[in-house]
Structure 1
């Protein structure tokens, strides 16, 4: 059994909908051999990263940067998992009121330093809320879990 960790900052109703969509996709009925753990960034830490086979990160865009909660998760986990989790498959979604590029660059810099590998390009849910944001994030969660189960990640 493979293990997918979802670390998602969800301070609003809409971001909770995205977090739940990611988990719903990752727990799709057709994906049987992947367990999913969903945690807020302030509740997740290096032990969670050590136990996972892939990670899905979710954050809001805060002043052109990732959420402070996700940054705190990285601060507490970075050096602890640096050597043992190189190559960890990862994905990212960003809920951005603006363009999300600063947030993307910040997370990409940390992920590069950790030596994690992108399962796919970051997803930016940009601008005014759109109903299909949930579908996009659900597909992201499903694709990451399915790739993990299939052994291609």
Structure 2
């Protein structure tokens, strides 16, 4: 059994919907051998990363940067997992009120240092809320879980 960890900062109704959509996609009925764990950045830590086979990160764009919650998660976990989790398959989604590029760069620099492996380009949900965002988030969860289930990641 593989384990997919979703670490998402979800302070609003819309960001909660994105996290639920990723989780729902990861638990698609055709995915058989993947357990999905959802935690906030404040709940998750190094032990969760060490126990997972893939990770999806979710954050809001705060002043052109990742949420303080996700930054705290990285601060508490970075050195504890640096050597043991190189190559960890990862994905990122950002709920951006503006363009999300500063947030993306900040997370990418940490992921580069950790030597985790991107499964796909980060999803940036920009501007006004759109229902299509939840569909894309669900697809992200499904891609991650299906890849783990089929041994692709």
TM-score, normalised with respect to structure 1? 0.99
Q: How many residue pairs get matched?
A: 153
Consecutive unaligned residues of structure 2, counting only runs of 5 or more, are none
Report the CA distance between 1:130 and its aligned residue: 0.4
CA distance in 2, matches of 1:145, 1:104: 22
CA distance in 1, matches of 2:100, 2:70: 15
Correspondence 1:102 to 2:95: no
Alignment partner, residue 44 of structure 1:
44
SS in 1 for 2:95: strand
Correspondence 1:85 to 2:85: yes
The CA RMSD measured in Å over matched residues stands at 0.3
SS in 1 for 2:72: helix
Q: After TM superposition, where is structure 1 displaced by more than 2 Å over at least 4 residues in a row? A: none
Alignment partner, residue 131 of structure 1:
131
Report the CA distance between 1:8 and its aligned residue: 0.3
TM-score, normalised with respect to structure 2? 0.99
Report the CA distance between 1:133 and its aligned residue: 0.2
Report the CA distance between 1:6 and its aligned residue: 0.2
Report the CA distance between 1:29 and its aligned residue: 0.7
